Chain A
């Protein structure tokens, strides 16, 4: 009894410490997951905490459940819209890309550690997938909005490449156990079963859960739990049947997130919190599991493996897999660098330990080292690299509060708090011109909620509550929200002052602005011209310079560029 109470105290105190330490990340830019890992290591056997935790079985169970929860949360936040630009490149990266990374890193590891080919490959396989938790944490970090083609590709890749790494690890363990030399045809069958089952269970199960939320009447707090329990059941069932549970739960999340079931706002919010809890728990535990003093023995070789992974294997895999999609070089460079390794390599490194492979400890140490180096070096530098490569786009001005009305999310009730810079200040609340059918319903001023008629002139600090159609939210944001973006992402500087529609004909635009008309462009619309000149699927933020003017894609609907910004580079330095 006494012992259990002490466990609870230690666990809770660690959790609290990790959460408090996360504030550090905002101050120093230190990647959050690294903070959690560091807290765990400090509490562990070589740190002041002195907690000895070496149970691979428990670590594996907690780790895999936590990862499943993170993938579910990631799936819930993946908009189907991002599949447009990211699905096909991500699919290549998540399968072939993982294989290439595994082989290149594995060959090098076998050579430098003087291991057998299979054992070297095992190290390669363990570190071959990028980490969903790390990538999601990075891409959804406040203040970083990347071009959609890049963020969608990375997000979908990291959510769906773990199954491939799991499969590779399992296959190699089988081969090592059987004393075989090379993978045979049955490997392909195993692969197909893992992927196929994961795919079917994920999509089918996701729809089933959406149907259930619509069908059942429960306490509102139960809906997020239904999704959690249902998702984990899917994960467990798929894994037991021999499929990839990780793929299943990620896809279930994607289906649920895009079907907008009952209570979807509530579900998203609760799962956002659960994802954080899972990430903290997992990285704390992995920090505890590490034995930093032992890591030093293999450090030189492990460092070399980490460098080969980051600078050779991953860039090669990215370059080969993205060849058919014509990604601009700077975007390829960025995707190659965001090969963040996180919890998965460490969890996978526990497999050989549980299977009793003689080299298991080396594998675990190397995996730990690779993760540490990757989180430190890559995690820390990514925001700066994104800025340097000009891959950021201005964030969409978002309301401070949002309540979706009804099931189809066609209408919403939006709250905007006016900053001193807001252009609406001093205007009479009852005579605002709001876009489309948007209507001002109430003004919250201090303690009082006023009708527009009673509110008089608007002042800084007022919160405006507006009832609007989904279609009008973008214009409403432009009007009422004050963008929190840094100066270089200010919309006027980023997209230029003027806009034209995608349907504008190239000949008129060129004549109007005195631009050289490229051959064959006379009959084209500006949208078609840009689509032909730009690489890959067009996304907001893509640029093309013609004469003294730069065209910047501003909005894309479906596959078509609908609005284009005109930027005068010589004017806006």
Chain B
């Protein structure tokens, strides 16, 4: 069990999405989260974009964890997306990104928000986990892999 498993809804895990750029990806994420959290897609987009302006959220190894904070949100909203084609993300190692975890916190989020970010970063820093995520056949497997991961 981990902090993320309680938050990640199966319908918010996408395998092999086609998005040509960071912008397109954030638009897709907006659409996805609007459906399940009733948050306007453009707010999601703006929030993620403005964090990216402070510096890329790519960690290297083809991973990115775009995140932000939205006032109107009631719960923490998240989505995991595996891209069909890796996209440029201005990563520290220059590698294009294909595994993306989007995390949006409500305005009143506490330290938990930071804890979740830390846990995600740790999860994706494991090479075995990344390899499994890249090899997984479908979205259901991706969801299971993430929810079953333990540190």
Residues of A near any B CB (own CB < 8 A): 421, 423, 433-436, 438, 472, 475-476, 478-479, 492, 497-501, 504, 508-509, 511-514, 548-549, 563, 568, 570-572
Question: Does the CB pair A436–B94 fall under 8 Å?
Answer: yes
> Smallest Cβ distance from A482 to chain B, in angstroms?
11
Question: Does the CB pair B55–A499 fall under 8 Å?
Answer: yes
Q: Which of B11-19, B32-40, B57-65, B141-149 participates in binding chain A?
A: B57-65
> Smallest Cβ distance from A191 to chain B, in angstroms?
49
CB-CB under 8 A for A512 and B93, given A500-B54, A549-B114, A572-B118: no
Question: Is chain B's binding surface mostly helix, strand, loop or mixed?
Answer: mixed
Interface status of B2 (Cβ within 8 A of chain A) = no
Question: Does the CB pair A548–B94 fall under 8 Å?
Answer: no
Q: Which of A421, A500, A511 contacts B55 (CB 8 A)?
A: A500
Question: Does the CB pair B93–A478 fall under 8 Å?
Answer: yes
Which of B60, B65, B96, B105 has the most CB atoms of chain A within a 10 A radius of its CB? Answer: B60
Interface status of B28 (Cβ within 8 A of chain A) = no
> Smallest Cβ distance from B90 to chain A, in angstroms?
10
Question: Does the CB pair A508–B55 fall under 8 Å?
Answer: no
A-B contact count (CB 8 A): 85
Question: Does the CB pair B54–A501 fall under 8 Å?
Answer: yes
CB-CB under 8 A for A478 and B69, given A568-B117, A571-B114: no
CB-CB under 8 A for A423 and B61, given A499-B56, A570-B111: yes
Using CB atoms, name the residue of chain A closest to B56: A499
Residues of B within 8 A of A570 (CB): 111, 114-115
Question: Does the CB pair A479–B111 fall under 8 Å?
Answer: no
Question: Does the CB pair B127–A435 fall under 8 Å?
Answer: no
Q: Which of B69, B92, B105, B111 contacts A499 (CB 8 A)?
A: B92
Residues of B near any A CB (own CB < 8 A): 50-51, 53-57, 59-61, 65, 67-69, 86, 92-96, 105, 109-111, 113-115, 117-119, 121-122, 125, 127
Q: Which of B51, B94, B113 contacts A514 (CB 8 A)?
A: B113
Question: Does the CB pair B121–A492 fall under 8 Å?
Answer: yes
Residues of A within 8 A of B57 (CB): 498
> Smallest Cβ distance from B96 to chain A, in angstroms?
5
Q: Which of A435, A438, A509, A568 contacts B115 (CB 8 A)?
A: A568
In the A-B complex, the 7 residue pairs with the closest CB atoms: A435-B94, A571-B118, A497-B121, A504-B54, A478-B93, A500-B55, A479-B93
Q: Which of B69, B86, B111 contacts A433 (CB 8 A)?
A: B86
25 contacts between A and B (CB under 8 A): A433-B94, A433-B96, A435-B93, A436-B94, A475-B92, A475-B93, A475-B94, A479-B95, A497-B65, A498-B55, A498-B57, A499-B56, A501-B54, A501-B55, A504-B54, A504-B55, A509-B54, A513-B113, A514-B109, A514-B113, A514-B114, A548-B114, A568-B118, A570-B111, A572-B118
11 A-B pairs besides A475-B92, A499-B92 with CB distance below 8 A are A433-B96, A497-B59, A497-B65, A498-B57, A500-B55, A508-B50, A513-B113, A514-B111, A563-B55, A568-B118, A571-B115
